Amino acid sequence: MAAETEETEDQEYESRVGASYMLSRLLQDTTARISLILIAIISGMALFAFIDAEFLDYRLAETYLYHPLRNNAGTRPLLPPVGLSNQFGEGVLAHPLGTDTRGRDLAVRLLYGSRIAIQIALVSTTIGVVVGTTVGAVSGYYGGWIDDVLMRFVEILYSIPFLVLVIAFMAAFGRELIYAMIGVSIISIPIFARLIRSEVLSIREETYVEAAQAAGVKDRNILLRHVIPNSFAPVVVQTTLQMGTNILIVAGLSFLGFGAQPPTPSWGQMLSIARNYMLPAPWFSVWPGLAILITVMAFNILGDGLRDTLDPRLEN
Kindly list the residues in this chain that would bind other proteins in the complex (CB under 8 A). Answer: 7, 10-11, 14-15, 17, 143-144, 206-208, 210-218, 221, 225-226, 229-230
Based on CB atoms, which residue is closest to other proteins, 109 or 226? 226
Nearest to 147 by CA among 50, 225, 155, 23: 155
> Rounded to the nearest whole angstrom, what is the least distance from the CB of residue 126 to other proteins in the complex?
22
Based on CB atoms, which residue is closest to other proteins, 57 or 219? 219
Based on CB atoms, which residue is closest to other proteins, 198 or 221? 221
Based on CB atoms, which residue is closest to other proteins, 146 or 290? 146
Main-chain dihedrals φ then ψ at residue 255, nearest 5 degrees: -60, -35
- Distance CA(258)–CA(310), nearest Å, equals 37
> Rounded to the nearest whole angstrom, what is the least distance from the CB of residue 151 to other proteins in the complex?
17
Based on CB atoms, which residue is closest to other proteins, 110 or 212? 212
Query: If you write DSSP's letter for every residue of 79-116 in order, what string do you get?
Result: PPSS--EETTEE-TTSSTT-B-TTS-BHHHHHHHHHHH
Based on CB atoms, which residue is closest to other proteins, 10 or 57? 10
- Distance CA(302)–CA(173), nearest Å, equals 34
Q: What is the DSSP letter of 174?
A: -
> Rounded to the nearest whole angstrom, what is the least distance from the CB of residue 218 to other proteins in the complex?
7
> Rounded to the nearest whole angstrom, what is the least distance from the CB of residue 23 to other proteins in the complex?
16
> Rounded to the nearest whole angstrom, what is the least distance from the CB of residue 294 to other proteins in the complex?
34
Nearest to 180 by CA among 189, 172, 242: 172
> Rounded to the nearest whole angstrom, what is the least distance from the CB of residue 32 to other proteins in the complex?
22
HSE-up of residue 62 (Cα within 13 Å, Cβ side): 9
Dihedral sign computed on CA atoms, order 191, 193, 197, 200: positive
